[in-house]
A and B are shown apart, each in its own frame.
Chain A
Amino acid sequence: MGNKQTIFTPEQLDAYQDCTFFTRKEILRLFYRYRDLAPQLVPLDYTDKPDVTLPYELIGSMPELKDNPFRQRIAEVFSADGDGNMTLDDFLDMFSVLSEMAPRDLKAYYAFKIYDFNNDDYICKSDLAKTVNKLTRNELTPEEVSLVCEKVIYEADADNDGKLSLEDFQHMIIRAPDFL
């Protein structure tokens, strides 16, 4: 393979490989994906760690996220500033966690953060209602939504505090057959 790439130093690439689930090539491919979102903003040389941030509008328009009802939440959770604006590091982080190589408990942790809309470390009823509405595009009546939320709390809330903590969530989700 031609060692033409000067975007990262080898040390940087090694460090990224230690910190993500990706191989060298995948990291470079992700970098190009990142750069393609805004070629004029992102420099081709990352050896001196430029401080570049892409706004959420660009991140959310990626085909991977475009049709996802939770795209805004995902971007918010993974971005350093919490508004969905991402640096390359955040970007790599996001794809690393969402990739199929990531272990389930890591995914569960981030899934919890994604579903925790108001960032209070618990999934409460309003979070659940938001989730249902996003999943069904508001097709359910409010009564149905509240019924569903109550059922979820009833099923998964092991310590009876009326909201789901991270442990409740992990306990429930790790055993789900569909959870990838």
Chain B
Amino acid sequence: EKDKEDESSEEDNCSQQNTASRRKNYQKKNSDGKKAGEEGSQQRERGKKAPTKDQKESENKEKKTNKKGKEGENKQKKDRKNSTSSSSSNSSDEESLSEEELAMLMEQVEQKKKLISTMRNKPWRMVKKLSVLREAQAFVEKFEGALGKGKGKKLYAYKMMMAKKWVKFKRDFDNFKTQCIPWEMKIKEVESHFGSSVASYFIFLRWMYGVNLVLFGLIFGLVIIPEVLMGMPYGSMPRKTVPRAEQARAMDFSVLWDFEGYIKYSALFYGYYNNQRTIGWLKYRLPMAYFMVGISVFGYSLMVVIRTMARNANESTADGDDDNFTFSWKMFTSWDYLIGNPETADNKFASITTSFKESIVDEQESNKDENIHLRRFLRVLANVLIICCLCGSGYLIYFVVKRSQTFSKMQNVGWYERNEVEIVMSLLGMFCPPLFETIAALENYHPRIGLKWQLGRIFALFLGNLYTFLLALMDDVNEKLAEEDVVKNITHWTLLGHHNLSAGNNSAATPPPLDPADVPRGPCWETTVGIEFVRLTVSDILVTFITILVGDFIRACFVRFVNYCWCWDLEAGFPSYAEFDISGNVLGLVFNQGMIWMGSFYAPGLVGINVLRLLTSMYFQCWAVMSSNVPHARVFKASKSNNFYMGLLLLILFLSLLPVAYTIMTLPPSFDCGPFSGKKRMYDVIQETIELDFPLFVAKIFSYVANPGLIIPAILLMVLAIYYLNAVAEAYQRANAELKKKMQMQREEEKNKRNNKASTNPMLQDLEDLFTPSTKSESHPKQAEDKKIESPNRTSPVGKQGKAAALDGSPMTGGRGPAFTPPPHVFMTQPLTPGVRAPYLGQPRPRGYPLGPVPGRGRGQPRY
């Protein structure tokens, strides 16, 4: 049974290749009567899609079973709609079913089910699909009940019912899920106006929003809300109170705008949280939750990014490095089917024409040396210029950070001096990308490659800026740590002194506690870091929005309305309208996310701000792009697998994980603020929980697991696994490349042979006459054609052919056996061109040259 299955599937493989000829064949047969015609059409469909084959098979089997089941009603069966015809004798069927028939029936039902689930993949007309679907459903419906016996039958029926319910539920759930995807229409609208590359940015933005929403839920649900509901209220202890000195101005807008005052002492920042081990009646372990949420924010993000990358990698079967098909791809895939705007369409037409012309020119004069030299020179020049820009911006930030350190020691510095670093960073982020783009115009890359270069450059710029900023922040933190030691003593003595004082006054009564606002406190470096990140994020948001407003909207208004009274054409000339800057926007988003990841441990409220930002920027940018941007002059499509964005995101995620992990592992937490105050290191909270809340053996297991003797082998094992998998992947890749090369060579050879045949044909005619007089009468292309038509009739040789193809390893060439078999005279020409064959000698060629004379190559002869 299995064997038969295999063989038929192979036959199927092969028959797919011969679809066209089959079709002709069966159309011929159509006149044989309705039944044959139906079979023919069925066969035709089967050729197109492998699974369809199953259907036919099942139908055949079905016929068989029915024959056995009801011999008397054989007449009725002419109808071929067995599912309806056999319904009358369903009950009598049941008794007479033997074991194997049952199994067969079961198989058929399964096949029908498969057919139903793959119906949408069939290239049929809807009417046909609907009718086949109905038939299959009726069949399944009817015979499902017949399967199984006695008790098993009931169970089977129950299982089927549950399966049906499950399918229905899944469909409803899918419907619900697609309804929940927001902004679908908005994005589609943008897509139709600007092509898919601009839309890919918005899709990325939406994805990012989803991720941030999950992070937001995590942090708010597990940290902020429990603290607000069950923790000590505001003003009950020093870390939750604004100090006396700041209280007067704590509500001023200018103070709040700098995230000082009341905002600094709120649940948005690390410092507000208490180090109480459990809070509320739930005995919620807040410090533990805080730590775990901080870790799981990174864990979740890593998981999501990697999963998306893996899915994208699976989807993209394309390896764009193949330049065999330049013209074909240009011809068949250059139109963007999503364009629905005349202006964009015009641009697209123009760009397609240019690209065709370019490749024609490339093809016509492949030896245009000067041009290549000039282009190379320009590319090197552009890179030098950009490296200069990067160095300059790095130095500028370094300079500004140094200056800000001196500013921070001085009193009475102005607003500008305080915010200089942020302003300079934002300005660099604003002006460098356009500069890079201008320089990149020198390079003259394809826009998609150009986009990648541009992204890489801006990435380097932002990364340099970010890390300079981080280094400056670390300096700050170290200073604060030194300061803290001093303050710690002062606080200690103050509290002690207060206690003594009150104890001396009236020894009987308990001392009135010191007002929390008066207690001297440390600098709390964690909150400082959090505030820095929040400030940076907010200034980034503002700069982005203002850039859009000024650079796009005001410019568009100016160009549009002043154009009536201006001396040159503003729309076509110098300022014109802005294009949507994909690379800049994507990178802005990616870096913003990096900042969120870094800052969210010390400022839990940051994710909330980010969610708001993404939400507004979705609407704002959609509006801006529709109202004031024009489509790109060289419209190009985004590749389906934009793993490039994801790769950047992963890199940023990793880079932002580093500083956070470093601070958690090496720096001591502040002594008087935050959930970890009083501990030596932040991660001590885990040990504490294990010791106090779990039974002893868990602690023991944990200590064993944490033993370096176990961790190092585990890491080694993982490294080895990675190495092994990598090696396997490489081997596959090599095999793939080898196969590709093989196919390529085979094709070349065929082509050469054909050319040779054309040239040497007249010369060899006479010779050929001598050897094979019988074949001469037919012209060769016709012969090949005939063979093609014939092959499907004789099923068994075809099956063998299919097997041979499978052995050959390259299914594409396998099925086309007849076409590849060289006619005899081609064989004769071979000795004339030994050079062509030379590289092929080592390769196994199961169906290569028929060595020896081919006697009587008539029609219908097996060719091996």
Chain A residues in contact with chain B, CB under 8 A?
A: 14-15, 17-21, 23-26, 63-64, 66-70, 80, 89-90, 92-93, 96-98, 103-104, 106, 109-111, 115, 121-122, 128, 131-132, 135-137, 139-140, 144, 147-148, 151-152, 155-156, 158-161, 165-167, 169, 171-180
Contact = CB atoms under 8 A, between A and B. Distances in A.
A96 B345 CA distance: 23
Contacts of B754: 160
The list of the 5 closest CB pairs from A to B, nearest first, reads A89-B126, A67-B345, A177-B320, A151-B327, A178-B333
Given A110-B123, A171-B812, A158 B747 contact: yes
B48 interface: yes
Contact of A156 (B48, B322, B325, B341): B325
A179 B638 CA distance: 10
Interface in B244-282: none
Nearest to A158: B747
B333 A176 contact: yes
A22 to B, nearest CB: 9
A63 B130 CA distance: 28
A167 B810 CA distance: 14
Contacts of B20: 121-122, 165-166
Contacts of B130: 15, 19, 89
B327 A103 contact: no
A176 B318 contact: yes
16 contacts: A67-B339, A67-B341, A67-B344, A110-B123, A131-B332, A132-B331, A135-B331, A135-B335, A144-B360, A158-B747, A158-B816, A159-B820, A172-B329, A177-B329, A177-B639, A180-B196
Nearest to B175: A23
Interface in B314-335: 316-320, 322, 324-329, 331-335
Interface in B726-760: 747, 750-751, 754
Contacts of A137: 349, 353
A140 B345 contact: no
Interface in B101-142: 116, 119-121, 123, 125-127, 129-130, 133-134
B332 A144 contact: no
A71 B20 CA distance: 26
Contacts of B777: none
A111 B339 CA distance: 17
A173 B333 contact: yes
B328 A98 contact: no
Nearest to A62: B340
A173 B356 contact: no
Given A137-B353, A167-B17, A19 B119 contact: yes
A93 B352 CA distance: 29
B349 A68 contact: no
Contacts of A89: 125-127, 130
A163 to B, nearest CB: 11
Given A19-B119, A63-B192, A135-B335, A175 B178 contact: no
B121 A103 contact: yes
A148 B178 contact: no
Nearest to A128: B331
B639 A178 contact: yes
B361 to A, nearest CB: 10
B334 A172 contact: no
Contacts, number: 176
A15 B133 contact: yes
Contacts of A26: 178
Contact of A136 (B133, B324, B344, B349): B349
A165 to B, nearest CB: 6
B812 to A, nearest CB: 6
Given A67-B339, A80-B127, A174-B317, A155 B334 contact: no
A67 B352 CA distance: 15
B643 to A, nearest CB: 12
A23 B325 contact: no
A155 B324 contact: yes
A136 B352 contact: yes
A97 B121 CA distance: 9
B352 A135 contact: yes
B116 A18 contact: yes
Given A21-B120, A179-B318, A136 B325 contact: no
Contacts of B165: none
User: Binding site of B, secondary structure by majority: helix, strand, loop or mixed?
Assistant: helix
A106 B750 contact: no
Contacts of B750: 159-160
A5 to B, nearest CB: 13
A105 B680 CA distance: 61
Contacts of B333: 173, 176, 178-179
B381 interface: no
A180 B637 contact: yes
A158 to B, nearest CB: 6
B154 interface: no
B317 A18 contact: no
Nearest to B348: A67
Category for how many chain B residues contact A: 35 or more
Given A20-B120, A144-B356, A135 B129 contact: no
B499 interface: no
A104 B326 contact: no
Interface string B154-197: 00000000000000000100110011000000000000100010
B340 A152 contact: no
Given A67-B339, A175-B319, A148 B332 contact: no
Contacts of A179: 318, 329, 332-333
A155 B330 CA distance: 12
Given A136-B353, A155-B328, A156-B328, 9 more contacts: A14-B171, A121-B20, A136-B352, A147-B363, A155-B324, A158-B816, A161-B819, A171-B812, A178-B333
B332 A180 contact: no
B762 interface: no
A131 B352 CA distance: 12
A70 B328 CA distance: 17
B334 A135 contact: yes
Contacts of B178: 23, 25-26
Contacts of B335: 68-70, 135
Contacts of A14: 171
A65 B339 CA distance: 9
A19 B171 contact: no
Contact of B337 (A17, A68, A128): A68
Nearest to B640: A180
A167 B812 contact: yes
Contact of B356 (A69, A111, A132): A132
B342 interface: yes
Nearest to B332: A173
Given A18-B120, A70-B335, A111-B332, A152 B319 contact: no
B175 A24 contact: yes
Nearest to A80: B125
Contact of A158 (B48, B349, B812): B812
B511 to A, nearest CB: 66
Contacts of B781: 161
Interface in B748-790: 750-751, 754, 781
Interface in B278-336: 316-320, 322, 324-329, 331-335
A18 to B, nearest CB: 5
A112 to B, nearest CB: 9
Given A20-B120, A90-B126, A160-B750, A176 B637 contact: no
Interface in B790-827: 812-813, 816, 819-820
B317 A175 contact: yes
A103 to B, nearest CB: 6
Counting chain B CB atoms within 10 Å of each CB, the highest count among A19, A66, A109, A139 belongs to A19
Nearest to B136: A18
Interface string B618-661: 00000000000000000001011000000000000000000000
A144 B357 CA distance: 8
A180 B345 contact: no
B859 to A, nearest CB: 19
B454 interface: no
